[in-house]
Structure 1
Amino acid sequence: MGGSSDVPALRRGLAVLRLLASRPGPLSAAAVARELDLPRSTTYHLLAELADAGFATHFPEERRYGLGVAAFELGSAYLRHDPLERLARPLLRKLVDQVSLPAHLGVLHGAEALYLVREQPRQPQTIVSDVGVRLPAHLTASGRAMLARLPDAQVRALFPSARAFVDRTGRGPRNLPALRRLLTGERRRGWAVEDGFVTAGFASVAAPVYDHGERPIAAITVTFRHLCEEPCGQSWPELAAEAMQTADSLTERIGGSRA
């Protein structure tokens, strides 16, 4: 490398990779140049270098470029390092110390919320959302915090019929219109709430974590005891603000951008 003079070229190369990764299929060099506002000659040079290194693949018959095997290998290595969990754990610990309640990190796995990390206060509480547990996303605050930021078509694909709406306690959405009404309110509010949807006597608030493409990649959730015989419509904004601050901090740590 030639020092600081190579930095602009590196940034442009990374911009090309991000663009290729953001598209559902290969792109022409002209499309890459147009999207990134680059000279044609520079674009062809960058694509050739990326292809030589295995990070891009050239499809000569289509005159298009896509991601290469090296990009896949890099992504696989990233996952092996468990970066999301490692970066989230100290933030969750700080959140738990502030609110004295259990907190966890969850991701969407199909139509379920999968819990990856959990931190407990000094006096542990028994909750259902342990590490490795999967729960129906439409019932959990963490699941709906992410669902609220997905396109309508994707939500519809995850919940194609009434059979997809599992019931645990008699509360929660039973069909797609009911789920959409909840998601609309939660998207507007900025966080999701569940009150006895998963386990009677417990409630949760959750806020989404975003990747660099402003897509919901995870959620930070705080769970607490709350017994209410009938749905009481509480949203716990003070507690949600703490979860949102933690989610925003994790978004920043992973290089994400809030929608």
Structure 2
Amino acid sequence: MGRLVPAVTRALDILELFLEGDGTLSAPDIVRRLQLPRTTVHELVTTLAARSYIVQVPGQPGRYRLGVRPYQLGSRYAEQLDLAAEGQQVARAVAETCDETVHVAILEGTDVIYIAKVDSTHAVRMVSAAGRRLPAHCTSVGKMLLASLPEQLLASRIQEGVPLVAMTPNSITDPVALREALDDIRRRGVAIENRESNPDVSCVAAPVRDRSGQVVAALSISVPMIRWSEDRRAELEQLALKGAGELSERLGHRGAA
């Protein structure tokens, strides 16, 4: 890697300050936060304003907010995002940490479709593939995605009194029981699958959000029952949340997923 340019680093430090608080700053604020000389801050602020990276706040002389240029750059970045490709990269990093099978899935109707997958290196592992479709209510990713739906959409997909298909004896088939499980998922922020799609595998899943905060996918970690325990579950929940949070950041989301 080449040498970092101090002036560019300082300009980027200034721009990143606008991600915090109410999104407005004065030159003295920047001096205090970054511990830079006043003349340096004045020159950098003047340059950023001249290039439309920051603009003065109307009616508040001396205060600045982000200008149109960062929005244009962010929009171009968003246009080039590929959820499957980004998901595959994050899934690989998560799998390298826990050495278990990691999936990223999206919701389509009442099914989930796996769009990314990285296998465990263990001899005993989950057999699946990207592109596979499963009933959402039988999987941790699916339950996470169902729990994130607005009530009107959820009611149109999970109808009261209509039994749900079972994949294993542990699958939830009662819509009322499923809704209770979804309520618990909303409270906890993570979803658990207890041998509901595969009698030998349990999973944990966490939500993936886009820049608007909407849940657009879920990331799961699948573990054969021979390696499953309550301690392992708690550990993998945190890892799934961390991985889903990283993928959310790549999609432009700000804040915890």
Instruction: Provide TM-score, normalisation by structure 1.
Output: 0.65
Aligned to 1:5: 52
Q: Does 1:252 align with 2:249?
A: yes
Q: Deviations over 1:26-82 (max 9, x none)?
A: xxxxxxxxxxxxxxxxxxxxxxxxxxxxxxxxxxxxxxxxxxxxxxxx9xx95xx67
Aligned to 2:219: 220
Letter in 2 for 1:243: A
Letter in 1 for 2:91: L
C-alpha contact (below 8 Å) 1:128/1:199 kept by paired residues? no
Letter in 2 for 1:246: G
Q: Deviations over 1:203-246 (max 9, x none)?
A: 0000010112221111111111117xxxx999912111001100
* Structure 1 residues 247 and 171: CA distance shift in structure 2, 3 A: same
Secondary structure at 2:115 match in 1: strand
Matches of residues 1-259 of structure 1 in structure 2 within 5 Å? 4-5=51-52, 8-9=67-68, 78=79, 83-123=82-122, 125-163=124-162, 165-226=164-225, 236-257=233-254, 258=256
Q: Deviations over 1:81-120 (max 9, x none)?
A: 6711221222211111111111111110111110011101
Q: Distance in 2 between matches of 1:12 and 1:97?
A: 34
Q: Distance in 1 between matches of 2:183 and 2:230?
A: 15
Q: Which has the larger radius of gyration?
A: 2
Residue identity over aligned pairs, in percent, reads: 27
Instruction: Provide TM-score, normalisation by structure 2.
Output: 0.66
Cα shift at 1:161: 4.7
Aligned to 2:61: none
Q: Distance in 2 between matches of 1:96 and 1:120?
A: 7
Cα shift at 1:123: 3.3
Cα shift at 1:167: 0.8
Q: Distance in 2 between matches of 1:140 and 1:169?
A: 11
Cα shift at 1:129: 3.5
Segments of structure 2 that go 5 or more residues without pairing to the other structure are 1-48, 55-66
C-alpha contact (below 8 Å) 1:220/1:243 kept by paired residues? yes
Secondary structure at 1:160 match in 2: coil
Cα shift at 1:139: 1.1
Q: Distance in 1 between matches of 2:84 and 2:205?
A: 17
Segments of structure 1 that go 5 or more residues without pairing to the other structure are 19-73
- In the alignment of these two chains, the number of paired residues is 194
* Structure 1 residues 117 and 125: CA distance shift in structure 2, 3 A: farther
Secondary structure at 1:121 match in 2: coil
Q: Distance in 2 between matches of 1:203 and 1:233?
A: 11
Aligned to 2:3: none
Secondary structure at 1:117 match in 2: strand
Letter in 1 for 2:107: L
